[in-house]
Every structure is written in C-alpha cells, then in structure tokens.
Amino acid sequence: MSSATATPFLNTRPSSRLLSIDVLRGLTVAFMILVNNNGNNDLAYRALNHSLWNGFTPTDLVFPTFLFIMGISMVLSFSAHRAKATSNTVMLTSIGRRFALLIFFGLVVNGFPYFHLDTLRIYGVLQRIAVCYLLAALLQLVTDRIAPRVVLFFAAVIGYWVLLRFVPVPGHGIPGRDFPLLDHDINLVAWLDRHIFPHRLFEKTRDPEGLLSDIPAFASTILGLLAGAWIKQARPAGQKLMGLFGAGIALAVAGLLWSQSFPINKKLWTSSYVLYAGGLSILLLAVAYYVIEIRQLRGRWTYPLLVFGTNAITVYVISELLSSAVAVFKVNQTQSFQVYVYSHYFIHLGTPAIGSLIYSLLFVAVCYVPAWLLYRKRIFIKL
C-alpha cells in the first residue's frame, strides 16, 4: 500500500502544489468535521451551525470554500500533467474514475450503516463534489482560456437567479407573486427534487444538495479555476496578492448587495451566496498566500493542517462514517453513544455550548489520528 504502483488511487507523494493551498484545504476540512459533529446541535454556538434558511454563518462558508480550493488545485494539477505530456485519454480515464469513486463513497456515507436501498439518499456532499469536479475538469481539459470560464460563471449565477425568480413552479405559480420568494418547500429546486427522488431527500421535502443547485455550486468551483489561473501567471507575488484581495472584496460586496433582493441562502446555494461566499474564500486564500508563500511563515503550525489537507476527502469520509456510527450505536434503550457521552461528560463543562465545542474538538482529534498515520507513511489517497 506504500507504493504508488500498488493501486491507481494511492500516491506516495503529493503532486506539484502550493503549500498555502494544502494548508487552507486542511483548515477547511478540519472546520467541516468540527461543525458537522457538535455535541448537541441545539445547544451549540450558532456560528457552528448552518443557517436555518436565509442568512449566513461561518459554517456556511465551508462547502463553497472546499469547491473553490478544488478548482485551484485542478488548475495546478492539470498544468503539471500537461508539462509531462499526459494524453487526453489518460486524463479522461482518471477524471471518470475519480467521479465514479466520489459518487460511490457518497452513497456509502449516506447508507451507512444500514443501507436501506429503498430510501437511500442519492444526493449528498460527495455527490455534489463529484458533479462539480467532473464539469470543472472537462472545462479545464477543453480550454485554458479565461474568457469561457468567466462567461460560464456569469451564465450560471444569472441563469440560476432567473430560474428561481421568474420560472413558475408547477401547481404553485410564480415566485414572489403567488408565494414568497425562496419559500422553504415551494421553490423550483425542491419541486424538481421531489419529482426525481421522492422519499430519498435529506429534509423530506427538499435536499440541500439538490440537482438544480449544482448549477451555482459549479460556479463556486469556476471561481477556483479563475483563482488558480491567476496564481499560476508569471506576475510578481505582490501583484497576485492585491488581485486576490481586490476580487475577494468586490465579490463579497456584490453578494451582499444582491442579497437585498435575492437572499443569501446556503441550502438553495443562491447566486448571492455564490458571490458572498466566493469573495470570502478568495480573501482566505489571499491571507494564506501572503502568510505562507510571501512571508514564508511555514512553522510547525502548518503541520496538522497539512495532515488534514493532503488526504482531505479520505478524512472527510472517515469522519462521516464515524459520526454515523456514534449516532446509531445505542448505549442504552434511549441514548446513542454520542448523546450518552455528551450528556454525561461534556454538557457540564462550562456551558452546554462550551461542552458541545469540546466534544467537537475531541472528534476532530480522533479523526486526525488516521490522517496522521497516512501522512506519516507518505500515503495520499486520491478520491
């Protein structure tokens, strides 16, 4: 398992990449695991939960930032493959294999541990990553030009806005006239998902990773392609940094302005959410780029983030399987392992919110162990 030839999904050294990207990816994954595993969601700090509907919390930044980083990494990876004259056939095979693996593990995560096939959720986080990866990879393979990416980005965010704002929902009417704009259940995204996969949705009547909202999620990934192309250009580092800061601020402000008429909403991945979260993601990249690439502050503090960042998808899958296990394993007739441990050992540590956070931090630490073992052996699993 330690050899790159043992399996096409393993590598004993990471490909050409920027340290700042791995660190930011590691921070994103660690925070993702943290917020996905509160000791008690109802008692946790609001910032460590997703917004219930319209609005924004730091937790809502995690997923678009991951897609954004994936787009950047794709530019750097494809550039390295082109430098080695890798054929399009080989790259297409690799893209298809990775897409299939992400879908497969997404279904495993959704079904674990019972795998009731009649109600198995089809959508999911890994499935959305798979779709965005496939579309972005094909785009990157077809052209390196910036213009098509910019056109596709604006087509996605504006087109999605048109769909949710003006297209009638069958049986209900026109948004904003016959029912409230971005109603919880009466919107085109939820309507389509209920007709495609009834009885298989995360929130029964809708799904936060629904089919139609893959369109703006792809736009979030395109932002990563654009940022990656900018970083790769032969420009002074200071100029790259200023470009990132300028773009990040502009997008975040544009998202806030648009949200006055088209609210920021993570569960629908609204266009204003794409701009606002995308702007913040670019600003995070700018900070990481400045600290690590320009100031060269690469001390021990980066190590745990590299451990998470170089096997990001693998660690996420491990965390989700473990999360499901502690949630379904019963300690007694009424309490799961998670509920029992939190209520007996964590809830009284300061306040219930502090106890919930400590539980989450311990969960992240547990997930760090297999990630560290992989990193120590220089095994990087390509999912």
Confidence of residue 188 (pLDDT cuts 50, 70, 90): very high
15, 52, 212 from 266: Cα distances, Å: 32, 9, 13
pTM value is 0.93
* Residue 15: predicted pLDDT: 43
C-alpha gyration radius of the chain = 21
Neighbours of 194 (CB within 10 A): 18
* Domain boundaries of the chain, sorted by first residue: 1-49+300-383, 56-297
Confidence of residue 253 (pLDDT cuts 50, 70, 90): very high
| Across 10-14, 226-230, 262-266, 322-326, least confident range | 10-14
Q: Which residues, other chains included, contact 205 with Cβ-Cβ below 8 Å and sequence gap of 6+? A: 184, 185, 190, 194
Phi-psi region of 187 (alpha: psi -120 to 50; beta: other; left: phi over 0): beta
* Residue 292: predicted pLDDT: 96
pLDDT in tens, 20-63: 999 999 999 999 999 999 999 999 999 999 999 999 999 999 99
Q: Which residues, other chains included, contact 106 with Cβ-Cβ below 8 Å and sequence gap of 6+? A: 124, 125, 126, 127, 129, 130
CA-CA distance, 158 to 143, in Å (whole number)? Answer: 22
**Could you say which DSSP state residue 379 is in?**
-
Task: Kindly write down the DSSP assignment for every residue of 286-314, as one continuous string.
Answer: HHHIIIIIIS---SGGGHHHHHHHTTHHH
3-state SS class at 119: coil
Neighbours of 52 (CB within 10 A): 10
**Could you say which DSSP state residue 345 is in?**
I
3-state SS class at 243: helix
Calculate the CA 151 to chain-centre distance: 23
User: In sequence order, what are the beta bridge partners of 10?
Assistant: 381
